[in-house]
Structure 1
Amino acid sequence: MEISKSDISLLYPNQESLSEKYLSDSSSEYRRAAVTQLELDVMFDMPSDMIADFFTTDREVIKYRQETFSDLAQVPEICDVLRRMIPMLQDIAELRRMGGDFSSEGEGYLYSVAEAEIYISVLDMLREGLLPHAEKFSSRAMSAFADRIRELTESDDAKELNERLSELGSKVREIRSVTIGVNLDSRLKPEDAGVLSINNQRFKSGELLDRILRLDFKSGEMTCIAPLTPLRKNQSENEQTAMSNAFSSAIANVFHSSVRQWKKIVQAYVLDNTDFLLRMMPEIEFVTKSVKLLTRLKDRGCNLTTPEICAAEDKRFEADSLINPVIALKVEGELVPNDFAFDDNGMIFVITGPNRGGKSVITCAVGHAFIMAQLGLPVCADKAAISPCDNVFTHFPTGSEDTVDKGRLGEECARLNEIFVGVTDKSLVLLDESLSSTGSFEGSYIAAEVLAGFSMAGCRGIFSTHLHDLAASVPSINERCAATGGVKIDNLSADIADGKRSFRIVRRTPDGKSYARDIAEKYGLSFENITQTLNRKKGL
């Protein structure tokens, strides 16, 4: 079903996909955790909940968003307009809250006037900043949005609203004070009160006590005969509320006919037409911050490509010259790209190599590419083809308080078990230095069992580890799982060139001793170097 005019969306192409966004999803907590552990919330400058909520597995939704971001990239001025809208829409939302069920009729009138003024300002901003670029739009989202704004700004209702707003709004803006008449009883205590007038000038504080005693009333009708006293001074909360309600009621009585006419206009026009803008506010925030991020990545020298979105059943992931965007924005210097692909000979990879050699960087880069692609964004690569995953599971080092009760190894195993509860053959699993809290023998044994389990689940995955024995056991794990239809596991290694980290990831079974040997030779700690040092000391 096509989306209605009142439900225009920058991110969802039809009513069904828009409705699905609001359905509860028990797996969303895993996505939120992945967003946080991959530092995407920091990179986007958005809450992890918002990023996780916009994650989608629907190919058509992804393609719809790709169109939207393509338009915004072609016309970057639009993002400035949308960005300026956000605080204005936030003001409308706050006015709605303040003008709710607990406000008086007078307050509701004031809030509705203010809301209408902001609404007209938003329309004016969009008419001037969006519509002149409408012919450049090719995306369904931006074209529909422009059509809707054109319809609203050119309608007779908008013209009537502007006229009425000018008339009634001026009345509100001119209010500066209220003159109150108070009847006193025989003991000079207030008996009842009424509004004498609503004024367009403020009252001024009178002079000192002698003027009160002389009852000097000749200093002007807007000048009090005593100093002005703050309204809330020495009043309880109930007294303050009563006073505020009294003033609001007075204003409502004065503007009674205007209030009724105004409410009809607001309900018939403003409320309905601001609803769709308020619903779009999270989307507007998401797309503007996303475009800002893409601009930063371009300025950093990252190539961005719109990925081909493949069928989920194909389980494809191919990326040429993949870059980790978080690292790109954090670290200065040359970026080292890597090609990466899952295929029939490797749906799960074990990555080994030296510390700080790029294992974690490429592991996270793959996660970044999946999530950015499934948000509808370009990814940091020269070329990419991606089959959406149904969820991203991460198992990274954590300072969880569970370690107090379970110990670190127990906590790690418990989190791994949670992943197995939710994982499917369409999932992506990223493990970084998992099971590093125990010895090499125990860690390698448990890790081999875990890898076999993920092989049987049929998911795509990466296990970045310092456990070189695990890499050596990959053939035996494959042999074990082949009989029951498990996907294949393969090895990747962080490459070493001339004894130095190259940050290149190559597909090969690593030699666990090679890097240690290079380090030993570099620092003169090989047996040959040590022998030469000792012989020199002896004068040999």
Structure 2
Amino acid sequence: MKTFLIYRDRDFDLQRKLPVNEKALTQDLELNTLFNAMALGDKFLFEVARKVVLSSMSDLDAILYRQSILKDCLKNSLIVKDMYNIAVESIEIEKKHYLSFFSFKYPSSILHRSIGLLQLFVGILKKLRGIADSHADKFESEGFIRFFAMLQKELTDEYFLHIQEHLKELKFREGVLISGELGKGNKGLHYLLHKVQDKKQSWIERLFNRKTPDYTVYIHERDEAGARALGELKDRGINTVANALAQSADHVLDFFTMLRTELAFYVGCLNLQETLVQKGEPIAFPLPVAANARKSSFKGLYDVCLSLTIEGKVVGNDVNADDKDLVMITGANQGGKSIFLRAIGLSQLMMQCGMFAPAEAFCANVCNGLFTHYKREEDTSMKSGKLDEELRRMSDIIDNISENSMILFNESFAATNEREGSEIARQIIYALLEKHIKVFFVTHLYELAHGLYEQRLESATFLRAERQADGSRTFKLTEGEPLQTSFGKDLYNRIFSNAG
């Protein structure tokens, strides 16, 4: 049985490798804040959220497939959490059952464990089938429709009855019937387990039934060696059956493990959604478009990680950067530029893993890779300067970035003088645009920003953080020409006026 609740055609691999830049993305976008909100202290939920979000997809159909499943989860959250808890219960039962035995090297102990485990699994599978029977009609997504249809087709009443009959028979309450042959040196060969004859025969059937000759050997109750030899004969006879039953138990356990893993992502999304709804923050399912298109339009876009760390609501932004390859962001210090940039990166990742977006509306083209180039603290070992470190990271990005990717720059190349930093940044931007890579760039380098503005590039748009006449910040971004000042004096006045 397969779940197919993350991908349409394959299982989700929790051991898959993450992108080479996952550490930079996690640091620059503060992704651990997002993962913690999805996990609510559960380490397994955290790991699944981390792997799914960072393994973003660029296939539109795959994104929409997962979106539709998540929409079902939001409408039926209690049912989804119930199924998740059932999967967790099955795995916990297996762990306890495993620890109740000290050794499984003997076929008889393997058989005994497998029978007990499968009996418990049958009860849990019946719970899942019951959910399918009672609630399948509440789900509309392709993924859940197929999942519930699979449960109802595979887990029929006849199937459960058949399983119970086999498990009862494999307990061998009527004894074990084994045949074998003698080889060289009277060594036993070709042991074969047989079905025990049905003793529910009439006396006439028993009287006229042809019997094969048999011999009876009695072992003294104190004959330990004889009892051990008899046990070894029994183990050889049931070895094949024990292994087959153990494999069956493992297959059922694998199903529950995959169900838990794939539902864990949606449970994490439900946890996040509940937190945001309680705060009154909007969420919307984004509209993804092809990678070779250029779409970046949204309403009320906010930084979800900032929202998760403060009590109040976060100011959202409305921007239309459709048909643009370059978005330059300038303006007042502490005006919300870096927060906006992080919101862009977070919403892009969330869209491409099939999640909702932190916005009232969101539409963007998918990208083949998301990269960040943020300023870092100076190298304390003094092995290199900040500019060398920035250029080295930029070189690593170039080695891995491809056409139709996206890169976010935050105050990059400001470690040198403005003219040199602007020239480095300008050349890098032009090279990226030539390779059809989407660029968002937050900068205080006026020479860079204004120089690009004067080029009147059709594929570029310029956003500026608002500043009120009294120096206060609205944290809103609007289209506008870069200004020569970032109004650092506002911060100076505010800090020292408060200190006084």
The 3-state SS of whatever aligns with 1:131 is helix
492, 500, 507: which one pairs with 2:463?
A: 492
> Post-superposition shift, 1:318?
1.2
The 3-state SS of whatever aligns with 2:473 is strand
Separation in 1, partners of 2:135, 2:153: 16
The corresponding residue for 1:120 is 122
Q: Does the 8 Å CA contact 2:87/2:260 hold for their aligned counterparts?
A: yes
Separation in 2, partners of 1:507, 1:42: 30
The corresponding residue for 1:85 is 86
The 3-state SS of whatever aligns with 1:313 is coil
Separation in 2, partners of 1:42, 1:117: 41
> Post-superposition shift, 1:299?
1.8
Q: How do residues 272-283 of structure 1 correspond to structure 2 at under 5 angstroms? A: 272-283=251-262
The corresponding residue for 2:190 is none
Separation in 1, partners of 2:94, 2:405: 38
User: 2:156 aligned with 1:154, yes or no?
Assistant: yes
314, 317, 330: which one pairs with 2:309?
A: 330
Separation in 2, partners of 1:336, 1:283: 33
Q: Does the 8 Å CA contact 1:300/1:329 hold for their aligned counterparts?
A: no
> Post-superposition shift, 1:352?
2.2
The corresponding residue for 1:10 is 5
Q: Does the 8 Å CA contact 1:161/1:265 hold for their aligned counterparts?
A: no
Q: Does the 8 Å CA contact 1:31/1:391 hold for their aligned counterparts?
A: no
Separation in 1, partners of 2:88, 2:157: 25
The 3-state SS of whatever aligns with 2:371 is strand
The corresponding residue for 2:19 is 28
> Post-superposition shift, 1:374?
1.0
295, 300, 306: which one pairs with 2:274?
A: 295
The 3-state SS of whatever aligns with 1:499 is coil
Separation in 1, partners of 2:58, 2:479: 29
Separation in 1, partners of 2:425, 2:494: 32
In structure 2, relative to structure 1, the CA distance for the partners of 1:447 and 1:113 (3 Å cut) is same
Q: Does the 8 Å CA contact 1:63/1:376 hold for their aligned counterparts?
A: yes
> Post-superposition shift, 1:463?
1.6
Q: Does the 8 Å CA contact 1:357/1:494 hold for their aligned counterparts?
A: yes
> Post-superposition shift, 1:443?
2.9
Q: Does the 8 Å CA contact 1:423/1:457 hold for their aligned counterparts?
A: no
Q: Does the 8 Å CA contact 1:403/1:411 hold for their aligned counterparts?
A: no
> Post-superposition shift, 1:446?
2.3
Deviations 1:225-256 (A, max 9, x none): xxxxxxxxxxxxxxxxxxxxx9xx99887788
The 3-state SS of whatever aligns with 2:476 is strand
Q: Does the 8 Å CA contact 1:319/1:341 hold for their aligned counterparts?
A: yes
Deviations 1:9-57 (A, max 9, x none): 012223xxx38979988x8223564245323344133237512564211
The corresponding residue for 1:216 is none
Q: Does the 8 Å CA contact 1:81/1:130 hold for their aligned counterparts?
A: no
The corresponding residue for 1:63 is 64
The corresponding residue for 2:476 is 504
317, 325, 331: which one pairs with 2:296?
A: 317
In structure 2, relative to structure 1, the CA distance for the partners of 1:336 and 1:163 (3 Å cut) is same
> Which moved further from structure 2: 409-418 or 252-261?
252-261
In structure 2, relative to structure 1, the CA distance for the partners of 1:256 and 1:36 (3 Å cut) is farther
The 3-state SS of whatever aligns with 1:29 is coil
The corresponding residue for 2:77 is 76
Q: What residue identity is the alignment partner of 1:488?
A: S
In structure 2, relative to structure 1, the CA distance for the partners of 1:148 and 1:270 (3 Å cut) is farther
Q: Does the 8 Å CA contact 1:35/1:52 hold for their aligned counterparts?
A: no
Separation in 2, partners of 1:404, 1:51: 37
> Post-superposition shift, 1:355?
3.4
> Which moved further from structure 2: 298-307 or 45-54?
45-54
Q: What residue identity is the alignment partner of 2:437?
A: C
The corresponding residue for 1:38 is 29
The corresponding residue for 1:365 is 343
Q: How do residues 183-332 of structure 1 correspond to structure 2 at under 5 angstroms? A: 193=224, 264=244, 267=247, 270-332=249-311
Q: How do residues 128-167 of structure 1 correspond to structure 2 at under 5 angstroms? A: 128-163=130-165, 165=167
Separation in 1, partners of 2:294, 2:161: 54
Q: Which runs of 5+ in 2 are unaligned?
A: 40-45, 174-219
Separation in 2, partners of 1:270, 1:524: 70
CA RMSD of aligned residues (A): 3.9
> Post-superposition shift, 1:312?
1.9
> Post-superposition shift, 1:351?
1.7
> Post-superposition shift, 1:363?
0.5
Separation in 1, partners of 2:231, 2:330: 74
Q: Sequence identity, in percent?
A: 23
Deviations 1:280-310 (A, max 9, x none): 4421221221222122222221211112221
In structure 2, relative to structure 1, the CA distance for the partners of 1:359 and 1:88 (3 Å cut) is same
The corresponding residue for 1:51 is 52
Q: Which runs of 5+ in 1 are unaligned?
A: 1-5, 172-180, 184-191, 197-245, 526-540
Q: Does the 8 Å CA contact 2:107/2:243 hold for their aligned counterparts?
A: no
In structure 2, relative to structure 1, the CA distance for the partners of 1:340 and 1:163 (3 Å cut) is farther
The corresponding residue for 2:193 is none
Deviations 1:463-493 (A, max 9, x none): 22333333222235x47xx7xxxx7333222
**Count of aligned residue pairs for this structure pair:** 438
Q: Does the 8 Å CA contact 2:106/2:235 hold for their aligned counterparts?
A: no
The corresponding residue for 1:342 is 321
Separation in 2, partners of 1:366, 1:347: 14
Separation in 1, partners of 2:495, 2:276: 38
Q: Does the 8 Å CA contact 1:394/1:429 hold for their aligned counterparts?
A: yes
Q: Does the 8 Å CA contact 2:285/2:357 hold for their aligned counterparts?
A: yes
452, 460, 463: which one pairs with 2:441?
A: 463
In structure 2, relative to structure 1, the CA distance for the partners of 1:435 and 1:134 (3 Å cut) is same
Normalising by structure 1, what TM-score? 0.70
Separation in 2, partners of 1:28, 1:270: 35
Q: Does the 8 Å CA contact 1:13/1:141 hold for their aligned counterparts?
A: yes
Deviations 1:76-110 (A, max 9, x none): 112221331343354477699999x9833244224
